[in-house]
Amino acid sequence: MPAIRYPGDGPHPDKAAARERRPGSNDPGAAVKEVAAFFDTGRTTAGTVARVCRDPAAAAPTGPARDTAPPLVTVQKVGGRVEIAAASPAARALGVEPGMALTQVRAATPEIVVRDADPEGDRGALHRLAVALARRWTPVVAIEDSQSLLLDLTGVAHLHGGEARLARRLVRLLARLGITARVAIADTAGAAWACAHHAEPERGGVTILPPGATLDALAPLPVASLRVDARALELLRRLGVDTVGQLAALPRAPLARRFGTALAQRLDQASGRAPEPLAPVVPPVAITVEQRFAEPLLTAEPIAHWIGQLVDRLAAELARAGRGARQLLLAATRVDAAVQTLRVGFARPTRARDHLCRLLLRRVERIDPGFGIEALTLHVQRADPLAPEYLDGDLADGERPDLAPLVDAIVNRIGAARLWRARAVASDVPERSVAGAAPLDPPDRADPALRRDDVRRLDTRGADHPWHARWPRPTRLLRRPEPLDHVMSELPDQPPRRFTWRGESHVVVRGDGPERIAGEWWRRRGERDAVRDYYQVEDEAGRRYWLFRRGDGERGETGDLTWYMHGTFG
């Protein structure tokens, strides 16, 4: 692993010539070729993607540096050591490479910015990219490792203008997505992976091996390009075997006795003498059921009958996929090619046949058959996983009430925007502390489990309530604060004595406050000094209001002392 060089460190000068003749040898001071960010594709298999940085050799600036971003690295804990997982181009220009210790990097570059790695997020992003490529470029896309994708281009390259044009289009597409890529095309998956990782890329970051020349192209590459384990790689270095060509020249029987069959199998897979099956990702397929009719449907009774038949088939498809419908679309195609659609939503994933039919049949009267309906189609626009549910162990208590059918009936009648529940949000600003949520959505996830050495474990207090109990607030706030006129109040901290709201004058008989709320300075610069003083007041008619004044009444930069109504009690 390359290390940061300090002044005075480095190999002996007499070994410089040997290093130039044998790059990648087992000399501790030998120079090893750089490994760049990559994305391969192959003639029968293809490629690798790394959401990391560019090739340092190719990205080395020849003129004044244009990138002013600070060096950034992501770290992960391996055993008791914190290692670099990925480095930005600015960090690589300073000699930082993945696998180095964080303490060593901080000692050499104190200004470096460190962030925690997110392996789960990277795997999810790589899987989404694989699914997108499988839908657009080739049906066989396999995830090789955390930075690699293999694409089978057999029979699809000509659809994109040939292998070279396909590879260039892939590189440009990934560049628009913010992914630096290297592409290699070869006869085998192993050869494509090796060239993408260890071969010098051609123009545009694309390497294409001619058919039948796989082993000759792999001969000058290091043994690490065969995807062998670290133990075998270290033993080969001690034996002086540095390249694939040197490994291929060794007798097969002694090699198998010392290293087992894995090393020989990797060599055979890269050269094409042994097959290497792929496990491609399977893009999710939309669940759809359709029924066409020889005679068009003209009345509501046959339409309702066939909707029931389609729902039966749809429930079976959902059960086979282990999913439940959250939103359905019924499309009725008339003989004049006009298409009428009905949408039905559900509060929870479901595949209950009676419930699906009940909601769909309530809207049958909205379908105008015209000269007849020749096709009915049910599309699942949204589906969530739905595993088998366990029955309640205590049957004496009876069944628990299920509000999902009631919520579905109300939402599909009046609309989803008119039925919701309040959800607390961590914010001090009142209009940001409440958000709408679906009536039966599960609560927010609990805080993630803390590590044993996390300092937050020292806080033994319970979770704070989003709204302080000492300062009750209205159940519902106005859509936006409304200005008040003719306000009479005593500065700096007395509630108003009189105000006019919506053209009606109010005389305050009781008041409580102020509750001072400062702006969230991390959101916008304008909130850095902003202050609101909230008051609860009651007028002579017994109506209670929640209003505020902008500013603290002493400093002009905190607000202009205007008054606003924000909510009402009761």
Residue pLDDT, tens place only, 170-191: 988 888 888 888 899 998 999 9
pLDDT at 291: 93
pLDDT at 45: 36
**Do 13 and 159 touch, CB atoms closer than 8 A?**
no
pLDDT at 455: 67
Say how far apart CA 55 and CA 196 lie, in whole Å. Answer: 12
pLDDT at 485: 94
Side chain identity at residue 122, one-letter code? D
pLDDT at 39: 33
Q: How many CA atoms lie within 13 A of 399 on its CB side?
A: 3
Q: How confident is the model at residue 33 (pLDDT cuts 50, 70, 90)?
A: very low
Side chain identity at residue 395, one-letter code? L
Kind and range of the H or E run holding 198: helix 189-198
pLDDT at 521: 84
User: Once rounded to an integer, what is the mean pLDDT over residues 39-57?
Assistant: 38
Which tokens go with 498? 């009189």
Query: Could you give the 3-state DSSP secondary structure of residue 139?
Result: coil
Q: Is the pLDDT of residue 307 over 50?
A: yes
**b/e code 292-327 from CB counts within 10 Å (16+ = b):** eeeebbeeeeebeeebeebbeebbebbeebebbbbe
pLDDT at 59: 40
Side chain identity at residue 261, one-letter code? T
pLDDT at 5: 37
Q: Is the pLDDT of residue 129 over 50?
A: yes
**Do 118 and 19 touch, CB atoms closer than 8 A?**
no
Which tokens go with 33? 């070729």
Q: How confident is the model at residue 467 (pLDDT cuts 50, 70, 90)?
A: low
From residue 324, how far is each of 360, 387, 525 by CA, in Å?
16, 9, 45
User: Once rounded to an integer, what is the mean pLDDT over residues 100-126?
Assistant: 89
**Do 566 and 546 touch, CB atoms closer than 8 A?**
yes
Q: Is the pLDDT of residue 553 over 60?
A: yes
pLDDT at 62: 40
Q: Is the pLDDT of residue 57 over 90?
A: no
Please provide the DSSP assignment of 300-355 as one string: HHHHHHHHHHHHHHHHHHHHHHTEEEEEEEEEEEETTS-EEEEEEEEEEEE--HHH
User: Once rounded to an integer, what is the mean pLDDT over residues 79-101?
Assistant: 88
pLDDT at 146: 83
Kind and range of the H or E run holding 381: strand 373-385
Say how far apart CA 162 and CA 170 lie, in whole Å. Answer: 12
Element counts in the chain: helices (H) and strands (E)? 15, 20
> Which is more confidently placed, 212 or 17?
212
pLDDT, tens digit (0-9, with 9 covering 90-100), for 259-289: 888 888 888 888 888 888 888 998 888 899 9
pLDDT, tens digit (0-9, with 9 covering 90-100), for 415-459: 777 787 877 787 888 888 888 888 777 666 555 566 666 666 777
pLDDT at 22: 39
Which tokens go with 1? 């692993």
Q: How confident is the model at residue 255 (pLDDT cuts 50, 70, 90)?
A: confident
User: Once rounded to an integer, what is the mean pLDDT over residues 3-19?
Assistant: 39
pLDDT, tens digit (0-9, with 9 covering 90-100), for 151-163: 999 888 888 888 8
pLDDT at 562: 94
Q: Is the pLDDT of residue 506 over 70?
A: yes
User: Once rounded to an integer, what is the mean pLDDT over residues 497-526?
Assistant: 90
Q: How many CA atoms lie within 13 A of 480 on its CB side?
A: 1
What is the crossing angle of helices 189-198 and 261-271, to 10°? 90
Taking the alpha carbons of 99, 103, 104, 110 in that order, is the dihedral positive or negative?
Answer: positive
Please provide the DSSP assignment of 11-24 as one string: --GGGHHHHHHSTT
User: Once rounded to an integer, what is the mean pLDDT over residues 200-207?
Assistant: 78
Q: Give me the chain's average pLDDT, please.
A: 80
Which of 210, 131, 213, 217 is CA-nearest to residue 164?
Answer: 210
Which of 285, 286, 308, 287 is CA-nearest to residue 376?
Answer: 308
Say how far apart CA 336 and CA 371 lie, in whole Å. Answer: 8
Superfamily for domain range 288-385: DNA polymerase, Y-family, little finger domain (3.30.1490.100)
Q: Is the pLDDT of residue 211 over 90?
A: no
pLDDT at 487: 94
**At 145, phi and psi to the nearest 5?**
-155, -165
User: Once rounded to an integer, what is the mean pLDDT over residues 332-339?
Assistant: 92
Q: How confident is the model at residue 408 (pLDDT cuts 50, 70, 90)?
A: confident
Q: How confident is the model at residue 497 (pLDDT cuts 50, 70, 90)?
A: very high
Which CATH architecture is the domain 69-208 placed in? 3-Layer(aba) Sandwich (3.40)
Q: Is the pLDDT of residue 145 over 80?
A: yes
498-501: strand order across its sheet: 477-483, 563-569, 544-550, 531-539, 504-518, 498-501, 485-488
Query: Could you give the 3-state DSSP secondary structure of residue 91?
Result: helix
Say how far apart CA 38 and CA 184 lie, in whole Å. Answer: 9
Q: Is the pLDDT of residue 98 over 50?
A: yes
pLDDT at 453: 64
User: Once rounded to an integer, what is the mean pLDDT over residues 408-415?
Assistant: 80
pLDDT at 458: 72
Contacts of 20 (CB under 8 A, 6+ apart): none
pLDDT, tens digit (0-9, with 9 covering 90-100), for 347-406: 888 888 888 998 888 888 888 888 899 999 999 998 888 876 555 444 445 556 677 888
Q: How confident is the model at residue 468 (pLDDT cuts 50, 70, 90)?
A: low
Which of 447, 409, 304, 428 is CA-nearest to residue 365?
Answer: 304
In the chain, where the domains are located? 69-208, 219-271, 288-385, 477-569
331 alpha carbon, distance to own chain's centre = 32
pLDDT at 465: 64
